[in-house]
Structure 1
Amino acid sequence: MDIIRAFFGLIDSLTWGWALVPILVVFGVFITLMTGFVQFEYFGRMFRVLSGKNQSADPNAISARAALLVSVGGRVGGGNIAGVAVAITLGGPGAVFWMWAIALVGMATSLVESSLAQLFKRSVGDGTYRGGPASYILFGLGKEYRWLAVLYAICLIAAFALGFNAFQGNTFAGAAQDSLGIDRIWTAILLTAITGFIVYGGIRRIAKAADVIVPIMALGYIAMALIIIVLNITAIPGVLWTIITNAFGFEEVVGGGMGAAIAQGLRRGLFSNEAGLGSAPNVAATAHVRHPISQGITQSFSVFIDTILICSCTAFIILLSDVYQPGVSDIDGVVLTQQSLVSHMGEWSQYFLTFALLLFAFSSIMYNYYLGENAIAVMTGSPISVHVLRIAVMGIVFLGATAPGATAVFFFSDPLMGILALVNLVAIMMLFPVALRILRDFRAQLKAGIERPVLAPEKFPDLDIDPTAWQHDK
């Protein structure tokens, strides 16, 4: 076991340790420049997905809005509550600025990877679609890269469907036990039963559940943060000044100064919004849209919601409180956020945070499961394999919820996520010229006065596009 741990520890060092974060940052900046700051160009257009006017007329299809909510549910999780607190304690308030910066850059990366997922998606035949990095490797790069797609799929299943779902089950049960006094076994049984009901309904049921859960959890948390901001409105300029001065080293509150702020902000921001990691494109491909760039814009909005909105809420809750002590790094992330919330709103608010954590954890479980199902489809089309995965996910959720130390066996999750992120980055680097082609097509149609651009597969005869996936509403 020690040898295995050492092996995965080496992988973690070679990916997250020094290579992956700089690559994600550099490539994000490169995409931003080469696309002409596309995330800002279409920022206003992102909000259109929230209305029902542009949804598909097919009742069986997954709408752009539904895909957005599923991906937001997956991106938003414990990292938005505990991760932000950790970034502030280890990197100082300036880490918040670098989280914002990497989110704005990551919006462009997310747009490109999600647009590619849409372009190379495949119709399942029942009104739904499948796609993602494995698909754009297979159909964009060619069958000779199938081994790369399989490697990606294996890492996706192990990291997200299994490892991270154990963590989410553990978070869910731990929060219920600490705040409500509910024994882990009862939480595990309830969570496993709900998980089974959702996963056996496939992507449609996942989308319907996300349509209810995600708005409640996101809007509720944002509303709480806004109340706190209004109550402390006179302190906001001072907090913003502290964030900026600490971000650029003018004011040092932790060891490492500006370097610590950058390192923690970038790392925690990337872990939270997942831009470039290759997970969200699996969900982006399910949406029924008229042009790939449309869903790319939507998923770019998902990064904005995750980091600029939700993570900022946690940051202001902490920095506006008197609980946070600069330089003190031995406090648990969730505890810091919880104590900060209580200092603002009173004891009752810890139960609100527990409820938010439960929703965050469950939405992530749904999302993580679907990533695993999509990966299984790449390796084998057997319905039995999907059934086995569903049973395995239910079991792993139960295990994670019942045993406080159960997640220790999933030391491989972060290293394997590092591998799949590198695989995804290699793929989108190779396919970036294709992404620029469809972006030019989208811009040309808008310039010609077409309000809702449409992808015509025949305009790209050299690309392996599934024409049945692009039969648009009349």
Structure 2
Amino acid sequence: MVNEIVSAINNILWGQGQILIYLLLFAGFWFSFKLRWIQILQFKYMFTVMKGSTQSDKSGISSFQALCTGLSARVGTGNLAGVAMAISLGGSGAVFWMWVIALLGMATGFAESVLGQLYKVRDEHKEFRGGPAYYIRAGLNKPWLAILFSLCLFLGYGLTFSAMQANTIADALNNTFTIPREYSGVVIAVLAGSIVVGGMRSIARFAELIVPFMGLAFVGTAVVITLMNIQLLPSMFVDIFYSAFGLNEAGAGALGAAIKNGIQRGLYSNEAGAGSVPHAAAGASPVPNHPVAQGYVQMLGVFLDTMVLCSCTAVVILLSDINISGEMEGIRMTQDAMTSHFGSGGNYFVAAAITLFAFTSVVANYAYAESNLHLFKLDNKVGRLFYTSIYLFMVFWGATASLKEVWGLADMALGLMTLVNIYAIILLTPTVLNLTKDFREKLKENGKPTFLLDDVEIQGKTEPGVWAANKAKETL
């Protein structure tokens, strides 16, 4: 019965109704147009803003840690298993539509991260917390909608997403080393628990150490595979574009599958518009001290996740000689592709990569849901213990559950979150535009934009003491 309910909701959101596909495309075009195609025209500045990004203070993590934490959640099964799933169900054309939703999603990710920074609060430890629930409550004055989003977030990032990541790790280790799934589940839960008990700062430090290393290693491997098969590269790109528009022998029947699976898995990987990454953005003390700075940082995260890392997985699969069956396939398809390039060593590499990729997501997912405990006044020892216990149980359960059960729940939670978040950020568009205009003007004037409440008209109110109101009080 539960599976039928989940399937019915997913059919409305992703299937025949395709509500979210149209909504995400609309939001991407909306913010791209309103922000004057910021992701293209100010592409270079995404990298420039990372100067000084390792600075932090007692209230927040650094911008670099926020980027790595955001990438920890983004860079997971979506990059390895999700891309394989998109290609197996939608053909090579799904890759093109992943690129499209990523390009548009960069603007959406910018907007939601700016809002996450602006409406952040301090928790009982005087550390920054924030996310969609906070900007819905403070910016739109809709506490009921904030609670609805938080419940969807707990269902998604607090429960099913970590279960899904654990499922992929267990499947990869079982396929490669025949390790029983329940053993993997126990080890994953114990390791994750040892990190998350330290809170956001502990998770951010872990992400800062692991994410750059694993990302560079995977990109380097994809570059080697590309050079090994350089003669096949032109035909691969031709196949991607032909398939994307239904121009190959499969015809128009495959077009819908390519668009649906490319956008769905692209969103699942880069999370732009889902309302997850604003939690990492809100936890930062940005440099320069302006909400828009985190918008650029997290926009870079969308680019690195999909345009770089997902593309690497696509190259690994499409340049291999494996058969694309048309049935739902996950991490094993990526393992088979890597094995075709490197022999049995490729299988081990993917098992190691997915273990790292997915494990960092398991840890970051905890941080996102934990940020919302403050909203319910549960950011205390009892509240955290209760949430952590459920979270770790779901990690263990996910390692032993079936692929379709886990992905179905994850798709539903992600879809409901996205529905609420897109609605909120579109209503808050005037605030995003005013903040962006203020940042650009100050950047042009002195090169060091500092946000002051008196300078910008915003919707709702920010928490007292988080942002300076005038030039006599420029420090936090």
Judge same fold: TM > 0.5, yes or no.
Answer: yes
Structure 1 counterpart of 2:443: 446
Structure 2 counterpart of 1:274: 271
The structure-2 alpha-carbon separation of the partners of 1:300 and 1:397, relative to structure 1 and needing over 3 Å to count, comes to same
Report the TM-score, using the length of structure 1 for normalisation. Answer: 0.92
Cα-to-partner distance string for 1:254-293 (whole Å, 9 max, x where unaligned) = 7713333222222221121111111111111101111111
Cα-to-partner distance string for 1:99-126 (whole Å, 9 max, x where unaligned) = 1111000000000011011111112364
Structure 1 counterpart of 2:25: 25
The structure-2 alpha-carbon separation of the partners of 1:352 and 1:26, relative to structure 1 and needing over 3 Å to count, comes to same
Q: What are the ranges of 5 or more consecutive residues in structure 1 without an aligned counterpart?
A: none
Structure 1 counterpart of 2:88: 89
Distance 1:279 1:347 in 2: 36
Distance 1:261 1:407 in 2: 19
The structure-2 alpha-carbon separation of the partners of 1:50 and 1:227, relative to structure 1 and needing over 3 Å to count, comes to farther
Distance 1:473 1:281 in 2: 23
Q: Which amino acid aligns with 1:8?
A: V
Distance 1:232 1:440 in 2: 46
Q: Which amino acid aligns with 2:451?
A: L
* Secondary structure of residue in 1 paired with 2:274: coil
Please tell me whether the aligned partners of residues 57 and 473 of structure 1 are also in contact (alpha carbons under 8 angstroms): no
Structure 2 counterpart of 1:114: 113
Please tell me whether the aligned partners of residues 434 and 456 of structure 2 are also in contact (alpha carbons under 8 angstroms): no
Structure 1 counterpart of 2:143: 146
Q: Which amino acid aligns with 2:216?
A: L
Please tell me whether the aligned partners of residues 56 and 63 of structure 2 are also in contact (alpha carbons under 8 angstroms): no
Percentage of matched positions with identical amino acids = 38
Specify which of 429, 433, 437 is matched with residue 432 of structure 1. Answer: 429
The alpha-carbon deviation at position 413 of structure 1 amounts to 3.7
Cα-to-partner distance string for 1:7-30 (whole Å, 9 max, x where unaligned) = 333322232232111111112111
Specify which of 373, 377, 382 is matched with residue 374 of structure 2. Answer: 377
The alpha-carbon deviation at position 406 of structure 1 amounts to 9.2
The alpha-carbon deviation at position 426 of structure 1 amounts to 1.1
The structure-2 alpha-carbon separation of the partners of 1:435 and 1:60, relative to structure 1 and needing over 3 Å to count, comes to closer
Q: What are the ranges of 5 or more consecutive residues in structure 2 without an aligned counterpart?
A: 469-473
Cα-to-partner distance string for 1:59-102 (whole Å, 9 max, x where unaligned) = 66300110100111101111211221222222222221111111
* Secondary structure of residue in 1 paired with 2:249: coil
The alpha-carbon deviation at position 382 of structure 1 amounts to 4.7
Please tell me whether the aligned partners of residues 90 and 254 of structure 1 are also in contact (alpha carbons under 8 angstroms): no
The structure-2 alpha-carbon separation of the partners of 1:230 and 1:406, relative to structure 1 and needing over 3 Å to count, comes to closer
Residues 152-191 of structure 1 correspond to what in structure 2 (within 5 A)? 152-191=149-188
The alpha-carbon deviation at position 343 of structure 1 amounts to 1.2
* Secondary structure of residue in 1 paired with 2:174: helix
The alpha-carbon deviation at position 458 of structure 1 amounts to 2.3
Structure 1 counterpart of 2:128: 129
The structure-2 alpha-carbon separation of the partners of 1:221 and 1:119, relative to structure 1 and needing over 3 Å to count, comes to same
User: Root-mean-square deviation (CA), in Å?
Assistant: 2.2
Distance 2:433 2:192 in 1: 39
Cα-to-partner distance string for 1:155-194 (whole Å, 9 max, x where unaligned) = 1001211112122222222222221233334323322221
Please tell me whether the aligned partners of residues 72 and 302 of structure 1 are also in contact (alpha carbons under 8 angstroms): yes
Distance 1:129 1:206 in 2: 14
Cα-to-partner distance string for 1:406-451 (whole Å, 9 max, x where unaligned) = 9837854432322221111111111011110001101111222x22
Matched, 1:310 2:309: yes
Specify which of 254, 257, 260 is matched with residue 257 of structure 1. Answer: 254
Residues 12-411 of structure 1 correspond to what in structure 2 (within 5 A)? 12-17=10-15, 18-48=18-48, 50-51=50-51, 53-56=52-55, 58=57, 61-124=60-123, 126=125, 128-142=127-141, 145-253=142-250, 256-289=253-286, 290-325=289-324, 328-330=325-327, 332-383=329-380, 384-401=382-399, 403-405=400-402, 408=405, 411=408
Distance 1:62 1:83 in 2: 30
Q: Which amino acid aligns with 2:342?
A: M
Tell which deviates more after alignment, 460-469 or 373-382. 460-469
Query: How many pairs align?
Result: 465
Tell which deviates more after alignment, 213-222 or 330-339. 330-339
Tell which deviates more after alignment, 178-187 or 389-398. 178-187
Distance 2:265 2:58 in 1: 38
The structure-2 alpha-carbon separation of the partners of 1:54 and 1:168, relative to structure 1 and needing over 3 Å to count, comes to closer
* Secondary structure of residue in 2 paired with 1:470: coil
The structure-2 alpha-carbon separation of the partners of 1:443 and 1:203, relative to structure 1 and needing over 3 Å to count, comes to same
Distance 2:136 2:109 in 1: 16
Distance 1:407 1:157 in 2: 20
Please tell me whether the aligned partners of residues 85 and 333 of structure 1 are also in contact (alpha carbons under 8 angstroms): yes
Distance 2:403 2:383 in 1: 25
The structure-2 alpha-carbon separation of the partners of 1:340 and 1:442, relative to structure 1 and needing over 3 Å to count, comes to same
Distance 2:315 2:379 in 1: 48
* Secondary structure of residue in 2 paired with 1:465: coil
Q: Which amino acid aligns with 2:40?
A: F
Distance 1:361 1:91 in 2: 23
Distance 1:306 1:410 in 2: 20
Tell which deviates more after alignment, 389-398 or 11-20. 11-20
Please tell me whether the aligned partners of residues 130 and 372 of structure 2 are also in contact (alpha carbons under 8 angstroms): no
Q: Which amino acid aligns with 1:29?
A: F
Distance 1:324 1:237 in 2: 19
The alpha-carbon deviation at position 127 of structure 1 amounts to 5.6
Q: Which amino acid aligns with 1:278?
A: G
